[in-house]
Structure 1
Amino acid sequence: MSLPASLRDRLRLPLIAAPMFLVSGPALVTAACRSGVIGSFPTANCRTVDELDVWLAGMADDARRAADADGRAPAPWCPNLIVHRSNPRVPDDLAAVLRHKAEIVITSVGSPEPVMKPLKDAGCLVLADVASVRHAEKAVAAGVDGLVLLTAGAGGQTGWANPFAFVRAVRQFWDGIVVMAGGMADGHAVAAAQALGCDLAYMGTKFIATRESLSKDAYKEMLVASRLDDVLLTRAFTGLETNMLRPSIAAAGLDPDNLPVRGGIDISKDINAAERDRPDARRWKDIWSAGHSVSGVTDVPSVAQLVERTAAEYEAARLSVKRV
């Protein structure tokens, strides 16, 4: 295990509730942390830096209250910085994250190098999203503490690599923290990721269908009703390979089997408040993503209930391996 003991001892499960655009908010994050898994969220989910300050202050206050009540610190909360040069808020979001003393930060969509020094100077653990061995090597060279391997089957903008091959390829040159993202349907999958050589796993789709998530009730209900065959890989909505729910595409009046290579608006630009208010933007926002793990979504529990179930599945998987 590459995780620092000071972090590992605060986790009930080696799990991160994945940062999900327009889904992960303060209620989901704090519930995850109190349940013993790392709660993460994209800073882009906040319309303004002032709102981000409010969110971060609330998460920090909740962590202190939880520690006072339980006598031990909960799992850490974790902002996700979109570091691509097209995001003008990177400097301000970074400053907010530093003000509130985040323990862990995940960087996405670009090299983490521009934010590494201030984060490391603040004592922050830095994880970087990567979708290829080449990008993993570049992130390691930039000085990250961990790699989030985006593999085939992740919801939203997804990876292409087989998770078994990707993890083992990265472990040939990297002994730091490895997180597997993509296809985590239950605690059995989390245990399998750990056996493969990962320190942590991402779980996203199942956290969308929790009571605390920001997603619409109709979205949660669609996840419960859907299965793996309802997930479609397409470039039509973002210009990048993205896993979307066929029923939501059909509900928007489109044929899932006859989509253009690129159409509509780029929903990644929905960070901009003006984009949110456009009629066509509202239409595309109701085309929803899901990962290959969607077959595992059977109801809409609380975050605490989901973590409890996942922990029981994880322990059962570990016990079954020991018996072999």
Structure 2
Amino acid sequence: MPLPRLLENKLRLPVIAAPMFLASGPDLVVETCKAGALGTFPALNQRTTQGYDDWLQEIATRLAGHPDAAPFGVNLIVHKTNSRLQADLERTVAHKVPVVITSLGAVREVVDAVHSYGGVVLHDVISRRHAEKAAEAGVDGIVAVSAGAGGHGGTISPFALVAEIASFFPGVIALSGAISTGAQIAAALMMGADLAYIGTRFIATQESMVDADFKQMLLDSNASDIIYTPNISGIPANFLRASIVAAGLDPDNLPAHGNMQVESEAKAWKNYWSAGQGVGSILDLPSTGDLCGRLVGEYRDAIRRLVDGGRLEMNGTKRGNIAIVSGAVTCPR
């Protein structure tokens, strides 16, 4: 479907750089937005609400000098153990953050607060049931977190998850799950998503906040090096097997973890590094701007191959956010 007005014609690339815990900060967000994709970060990447407020001000100030930059967004954890939610939401509203991505709970009050100033709310889900609850809460878009995604990923095939959500939800759908290249962005849109939601590939950039050893581990890993377990934070997530070994644990015999506690997440994720199954496509550590430029080229080339091969006949038409006009391929912006 068409993107919300706030995003329409604002993206050079139909991509959201996912809000990654302990990895996304102002530098990554600003450089992503300047390159034409939607940059985001988790509010909890700052240890206090005041720190979160400072980051919002910094990002807005730095982007003010770039009128062609894409909007930015933040991630709010809507979970009963997040004692900062209300305070962070108040600062979000005060700064009129363009896009808010909610996780671990779709709540009408949060959606209404963001809508009060014209903001857009996306909610990430791993199942149809969660998507239905998000739709009932009035969100503008749903992030379909499918099998292979980093962080708190799901286990459902992206083909199945996107199709099921699209069958009842008329809003924007972003697809998450092992997307690392421009061709994969094009594939996400062709299967019915409006945006690609990319995390791990952006960890392996110069601007991400993780340390050099984490980035090197991404370069050294492939899909078979990812382990999916609830025994790190209490909710199933994908982690790099080598990081668990380095922390002194046996990945195949992890001790059971109790229920998730937001306040203790930082300690767990600092030692055990999360990544998605797309790590095998990561071969370098470019700047964010260079990565986005590469993705734009790969994305356009992928669509051209479909057109030139006769597998896509859309002259003069538009499907989702891919436009084909007399054989010429255009991006959303």
Global fold match (TM > 0.5): yes
CA–CA separation in structure 1 for the residues paired with 2:261 and 2:304: 43
Report if aligned partners of 2:43, 2:75 keep a CA contact under 8 Å in 1: yes
SS of 2:189's partner is: helix
Report if aligned partners of 1:108, 1:128 keep a CA contact under 8 Å in 2: yes
What's the CA shift string for 1:293-321, capped at 9, x where partnerless?
10011111110111111111111111111
Question: How far did 1:139 drift?
Answer: 1.0
Q: Sort the Cα spacing of 1:285 and 1:181 in 2 relative to 1 into closer, same or farther, 3 A.
A: same
Question: How far did 1:110 drift?
Answer: 0.7
Partner residue in 2 for 1:168: 163
CA–CA separation in structure 1 for the residues paired with 2:234 and 2:81: 15
Report if aligned partners of 1:237, 1:266 keep a CA contact under 8 Å in 2: no
| Paired amino acid for 1:90 | L
Partner residue in 2 for 1:322: 307
Asked if residue 146 in structure 1 is aligned to residue 128 in structure 2, the reply is: no
Question: How far did 1:129 drift?
Answer: 1.0
SS of 2:109's partner is: helix
Partner residue in 2 for 1:117: 112
Question: How far did 1:7 drift?
Answer: 1.6
Asked if residue 126 in structure 1 is aligned to residue 121 in structure 2, the reply is: yes
What's the CA shift string for 1:190-212, capped at 9, x where partnerless?
10010111111111001111110
| Paired amino acid for 1:297 | I
CA–CA separation in structure 2 for the residues paired with 1:213 and 1:182: 19
Asked if residue 257 in structure 1 is aligned to residue 242 in structure 2, the reply is: no
Report if aligned partners of 1:128, 1:148 keep a CA contact under 8 Å in 2: yes
What's the CA shift string for 1:249-303, capped at 9, x where partnerless?
111122222223438x9684336xxxx6xxxx48x62221110110011111110
CA–CA separation in structure 1 for the residues paired with 2:132 and 2:90: 27
CA–CA separation in structure 2 for the residues paired with 1:299 and 1:49: 34
Partner residue in 1 for 2:264: 270
Q: Sort the Cα spacing of 1:79 and 1:225 in 2 relative to 1 into closer, same or farther, 3 A.
A: same
Number of aligned residue pairs: give it. 309
SS of 1:22's partner is: coil
Report if aligned partners of 1:234, 1:261 keep a CA contact under 8 Å in 2: no
Partner residue in 1 for 2:201: 206
CA–CA separation in structure 2 for the residues paired with 1:241 and 1:200: 24
SS of 2:123's partner is: strand
CA–CA separation in structure 2 for the residues paired with 1:156 and 1:6: 27
Equivalent of 1:94, from 89, 94, 99? 89
CA–CA separation in structure 2 for the residues paired with 1:61 and 1:151: 35
Q: Percent identity?
A: 44
Report if aligned partners of 1:84, 1:111 keep a CA contact under 8 Å in 2: no
Larger relative helix fraction: 1
Structure 2 runs not aligned, ≥5 long: 310-333
Partner residue in 1 for 2:281: 296
Matches within 5 A, 1:1-324: 1-4=1-4, 6-67=6-67, 72=68, 74-262=69-257, 268-270=262-264, 281=267, 285-324=270-309
Structure 1 runs not aligned, ≥5 long: none
Question: How far did 1:6 drift?
Answer: 4.9
| Paired amino acid for 1:7 | L
Q: How large is the Cα RMSD of the aligned pairs?
A: 1.7
CA–CA separation in structure 2 for the residues paired with 1:18 and 1:311: 17
CA–CA separation in structure 1 for the residues paired with 2:91 and 2:204: 29
Question: How far did 1:157 drift?
Answer: 1.4
SS of 1:86's partner is: coil
Report if aligned partners of 1:42, 1:81 keep a CA contact under 8 Å in 2: yes
CA–CA separation in structure 1 for the residues paired with 2:78 and 2:262: 13
What's the CA shift string for 1:182-237, capped at 9, x where partnerless?
11021111100101111111110011111101101100011011111111111221
SS of 2:65's partner is: helix
Partner residue in 1 for 2:318: none
Off by >4 Å, runs of 4+ in structure 1: 265-268
